[in-house]
Structures are given as C-alpha cells and as structure tokens.
Structure 1
Amino acid sequence: MESHKEYVSGLGKESKIPPEIKGWNWGAFFLNWIWGIGNNTYIAFLMFIPFVNFIMIFILGAKGNEWAWQNKKWKDVNHFKSVQRKWLLASLGIIGVFFPLLFLSVSSALKGEAYDQSLSIIRENQQVIEMVGKPIEPGYFILGSISTQGPNGQASLEYNISGPKASAVVYVYANKHAGTWNLEQVVVNDEENHKKINVIPREN
C-alpha cells in the first residue's frame, strides 16, 4: 500500500493527488477567486471574465481540491481537509448573511407608492377585516416587480398580511400615469380557508 509520504503537495502537476481529498470543493465553488488567492490557485481569476465565470465556478468546484493540493504546500492530508472545511464554513456564513440582505433590499425597493396604497385600502376593507381580523399587519418580504419609464410605469406585487383570525396573500397590479400610481387590481387570498376577496376587481 502506498504511504501518505508519496503524496507531496505544492509541486504543481508533479504532485500526486491523495484519494482522500478527491471530490467537490464547496469553498472554491462559492468563494471562487477569494478562495483562489488563499489557495494559490490563481486560475480562479477567470471569474472576472464575463460568460467564462459561469462555467468557471463549476470547474473550481470540481477541480478545486486537486489544484489547491498541487499549488500550495500542506502539512498533510488532514491539514488540507481542515483548511478546506474552514473555507466551506466561511462560504456558508457569507451566503447566510448576503442572501437575506439582498432579499431585504429588493423587498424595500418594492415598498413604494403602489404598495402603500394597496395596504391602506386593504386595512379599510370590511371584508378583509372580517376574514383576517384587526389589526392587519403586512409581512416583511415583498415579491414582484416594478418598472418605470419617465412618468409612467407598471407594478406587480405579492405580499403577505396577517391578523388575529388568519393570514392571507395579497396580489397587486398597478399602473403609473403622469407620475401617479393607480391600483388596477387588488386581491386578497386566504388559501387555507379557500376565501378570496377582490378588493379592487380588474376591469374587463
């Protein structure tokens, strides 16, 4: 049986790859060029080339362990595994912070005049009050899109509301004309209790 001494790292392509480290490297996949600097794998800078970067993240994930072993000196296999595990944990930590912040920023951008108008009308609608109870509180997140071109625009929004009796999903369609938002349709849907209220029905 071959001993671990034969697997010497940091010799470039002359380094034999230990069977124990073969496999996917999530740190290289998620942190790509940052991981590349820390592991002397500068081919990861191809991430800065448009179109190539999309393919490169998968190549880094598949070849990351091999390249890191070849390009950097490691004490032994256990040392290598320990460091790569830290890269994985670091990537998960960054993702755990980045994506919620991104989602919150997108939701904040959608909380404009159309959103405010729809929430105000919903809170005053007696049918909605009877369905979910009072006070009516909106959820933190908003889905959808808003597009504007000069004084005109369109909005398609979806968000949750809740009250003492039930929760529901709100669907909003609005148009902006001459700088003013007008609600075209507002629907409140309680899927659990199979109730739907057309607060502002769409005109045919």
Structure 2
Amino acid sequence: MSAFPPPMPAAAKAGWWSRNWKWCVPVLAVVVLASFLAFIAGLMTLIFGAMKSSEPYRHAMARAQADAAVVAALGTPIKPGWFVQGSLNSSGPSGEAELAIPLDGGKTDGTLFVVAEKRAGEWHYETLAVNVDDGERIVLEADNDGPASP
C-alpha cells in the first residue's frame, strides 16, 4: 500500500464567458447604445430631409431669403436652422403643411411660420410670416385664393 493518496483530478478550465465577462458586458452595452443612437439619428435625418425637400419648405425659404424686410431684420446670410418643427402631409393632389422653420441671420435669429394647404395639386399659403426674436412679425404672403408662385 502506498502512502500517497491518488492524484486529484485536474480542475475544469473556466469557460470563455467566465474569463471575459468583465470587459464583454460594457462593450456590449456600448454597442447597443451606439446602435440605438445611430438608428435615432438616421430616423431624424430622414424625417427632416423629407420636410426640407418639400415644396412648402422650399417656397417659404426662397420667399424669406428674398424679402427685403426679412433681410434687413435678420441680416445676411439667412440660413435655415436644423430642427424644423411641425407636420407635413401630402397625398397626391391634396395635402397640408404646418411648419416652424428656425432662421439664423447675420444680426439676429427668427422663426419662419408656414401654414399651407394643397388643393388640386397646388399649394395655397394661409400663413407665411417671420417672427424675429426681438418681437417683430413680418408677413411675407397671404394667399387664400390663388396658387402659390414659386
């Protein structure tokens, strides 16, 4: 009989997750958060891109940038802000738009308000006005009867 006990079986080697969870969990959390933020940014870019390519937006910006009173109040250059607010619904020959477009001028800022309705394929503007940050309101166009001029 031997004085030595039999050898102990080798301890099972820890799995990959047991060895690496301390760095894997934060990396996964960052990847999930970055993916979520990228999705939200892409969605916002798509929505604002659709608004900025619409006829009411382009017409209103062209009118505001060409209007002498707006240029005098805001200064040059007049650039649209990034965060357009409102709604735009267009389906074939009908639609409606209610937009608030931030304007950045050389002297001060303002907001361009657009309320329009599309009837028989033509946009009719009920409200097209700029509110300057100092409280002044400049009405660009009141078009209730005829089609809008580009």
Q: Which TM-score tier does this pair reach, normalised by the shorter chain?
A: 0.7 to 0.9
* Structure 1 counterpart of 2:87: 145
8 Å Cα contact 2:101-2:113 kept in structure 1:
yes
CA contact (8 A) 2:125 2:142 kept: no
User: Equivalents in 2 of 1:155, 1:98: separation in Å?
Assistant: 26
Q: Which residue of 1 aligns with 2:100?
A: 158
SS in 2 for 1:75: helix
1:94 aligned residue (30, 35, 38)? 35
In the TM superposition, what whole-angstrom CA distance separates every residue of 1:66-121 from its partner, at most 9, and x where no partner exists? xxxxxx97316xx4342221111112222332222211110111121111111111
Query: How far 1:153 moved relative to its partner?
Result: 0.8
Q: Distance in 1 between matches of 2:29 and 2:132?
A: 41
Within the candidate set 180, 187, 198, 2:129 is matched to: 187
| Higher strand residue share | 2
Structure 2 segments unaligned to the other structure (5+ residues) = 1-14, 145-150
Give 1:172's aligned residue. Answer: 114
C-alpha distance after superposition, 1:137-195 (max 9, x if no partner): 1123422221123311101112211121111121211111111112210221233x233
2:48 maps to which residue?
A: 107
Query: What's the TM-score, normalizing by structure 1?
Result: 0.56
TM-score (norm 2): 0.74
Shift of 1:202: 8.3
Cα RMSD (Å): 2.3
Give unpaired runs (5+ residues) of structure 1: 1-71
Contact 1:128 1:197 in 2 (8 A): yes
Identity %: 27
CA distance in 1, matches of 2:63, 2:32: 43
- In structure 2, what residue type is equivalent to 1:180? E
CA contact (8 A) 1:160 1:168 kept: yes
The count of aligned residue pairs is 129
Query: Aligned match of 2:17 in 42, 67, 74?
Result: 74
Q: Distance in 2 between matches of 1:131 and 1:116?
A: 20
Match of 2:60 in 1: 118
Could you say which structure has the higher helix fraction?
A: 1
